[in-house]
Amino acid sequence: MTAGQVIDAYVEQVVAGLPGPARERADMIAELHSGLLDALDAHRHGGLPDDLAAAAATAEFGEPRVIAATFRSELGARLARRCALTLASTGPVVGLLWTASAMASHIGMPHALPWEEGAPSGSATVVRLLLAALLVTAVGALVTIAVTGRLAARRPGRTRVAPAAAVISGYGAVIVDVTVFSLLAIQLASAPGGLAPVPVAGAAAASVARLLLAWRAAQRCRAALA
Amino acid sequence: MRAETLKGHLDGLLLASLEAGPRHGYAIMEMLRAGSDGQVDLPTGTIYPALRRLERAGLLAGTWDEAGGRRRRVYSLTPAGRQALAAERGTWRTFSAAVTALLEPAPRPVTT
């Protein structure tokens, strides 16, 4: 193996299975690779032949498994923060679209809310589930954002909960969107002609997009937990 | 000096290594080794995520720089980083004075 191959093999061992936003992960790995080449140069200048210089450089950088764990922690925090910010920013948009749809369809307006008197049977339970899922999603996202923010970055111990909180928030958002579709189905079954088609279609499309996004976010953050 | 011993002080050491000017990761590690007569000798790979964390905390600013055909990520202290370094120094002085007083008590006059 050439010195370059020894360095590449070391980097591959560190990279294997690392989570994180692809661009940030590639950027951090490029920095590690560049640092290893600096170490290789330093050992060459110290008089070591190529093969021993490469071995000394990788030994100096530490056990790949240990280094991968430190990268995993930072990348996991960055991934969780990105997922939580995405969920926190898309949630209100989808919520507003559904509210606009309900208003355009005169559901629950102006007097009774959908789960109150006169609402289709079964909707009250679904609405309670929806509110609980909304709460879990919001708390999970806020905790993630808080523990991965500027202040918390000085205390890396707190960051460890970030991927778990982001997973909870992601699955919570999935449940929110599924329950919204359940409510829509109940409404369609009880009064199919009462819905305003354009706003409902727009909100449903946004909800589907967010459901897929939340599922993917939760899965990626779950992988960062392993 | 083991990594466990340095735990809790790494951030301050990294900030201090950048006080004189911007450096890339490997140069920071070399400075820590040279400045401590080799006592601070962490696995070099561990400082890169730590530098990114300090950057996320707004204490460091990192940019890619190309020199001699090699790209290196160079870090510099932000104003918040300078403040954090001053605070770390103050905390360390208080802590080390207290520990020194306890571990190396001044000789007491012998009473008969």
* pTM of structure: 0.83
CB contacts of B25 in chain A (<8 Å) are 31, 34-35
Q: Does B101 touch chain A (CB under 8 A)?
A: no
Which ranges of chain A does DSSP label H, i.e. alpha helix? Answer: 3-15, 22-45, 50-61, 64-104, 123-147, 156-159, 162-190, 197-225
pLDDT digit string (tens) for B4-48? 677 778 999 999 999 999 999 999 999 999 999 988 888 999 999
pLDDT digit string (tens) for A39-83? 999 999 999 999 999 999 999 999 999 999 999 999 999 999 999
Residue A29, φ and ψ in degrees, nearest 5:
-70, -35
The structural domains of chain B, with segments of one domain joined by +, span 3-101
pLDDT digit string (tens) for B51-97? 999 999 899 999 999 988 899 999 999 999 999 999 999 999 999 99
Q: List the single range of A69-83, A111-125, A205-219, B97-111 with lowest mean pLDDT.
A: A111-125
Residue A197 confidence (pLDDT): 84
pLDDT digit string (tens) for A122-163? 678 888 888 999 999 999 999 999 988 877 767 766 777 899
Pick from A12, A15, A20, A6: nearest CA to A60:
A6
Q: How far is A19 from chain B (nearest CA, A)?
A: 13
For residues A53 and A184, give the distance between their C-alpha atoms in angstroms, rounded to a whole number. 66
Q: Which of B9, B24, B52, B88 to mutate to test the interface with A (most CBs of A within 10 A)?
A: B52
Pick from A203, A178, A173, A181: nearest CA to A85:
A173
Residue B111, φ and ψ in degrees, nearest 5:
-105, 140
Whether the predicted pLDDT of A116 surpasses 70:
no
Q: Does B93 touch chain A (CB under 8 A)?
A: no
CB contacts of B46 in chain A (<8 Å) are 62, 66-67, 70
Residue B112 confidence (pLDDT): 61
The answer to whether the CB atoms of A34 and B72 lie below 8 A apart is yes
Nearest to B49 among A71, A148, A151 (CB): A71
Whether the predicted pLDDT of A109 surpasses 60:
no
Measured between CA atoms, the residue of chain A closest to residue B47 is A70
The answer to whether the CB atoms of B53 and A42 lie below 8 A apart is no
Averaged pLDDT of chain B: 90
For residues A21 and A163, give the distance between their C-alpha atoms in angstroms, rounded to a whole number. 13
Q: Does B23 touch chain A (CB under 8 A)?
A: no
The fold of B3-101 is Arc Repressor Mutant, subunit A (1.10.10)
What value of ipTM does the predicted structure carry?
0.87
Residue A189 confidence (pLDDT): 77
Nearest to A31 among B27, B48, B54 (CB): B48
The structural domains of chain A, with segments of one domain joined by +, span 3-62, 79-225
Measured between CA atoms, the residue of chain A closest to residue B70 is A34
The answer to whether the CB atoms of B45 and A70 lie below 8 A apart is yes
The answer to whether the CB atoms of A153 and B45 lie below 8 A apart is no
Q: Name residues whose C-beta falls within 8 Å of residue A80's C-beta, 6 or more positions apart in sequence.
A: A144, A148, A162, A163, A165, A166, A221, A224
The answer to whether the CB atoms of B48 and A63 lie below 8 A apart is no
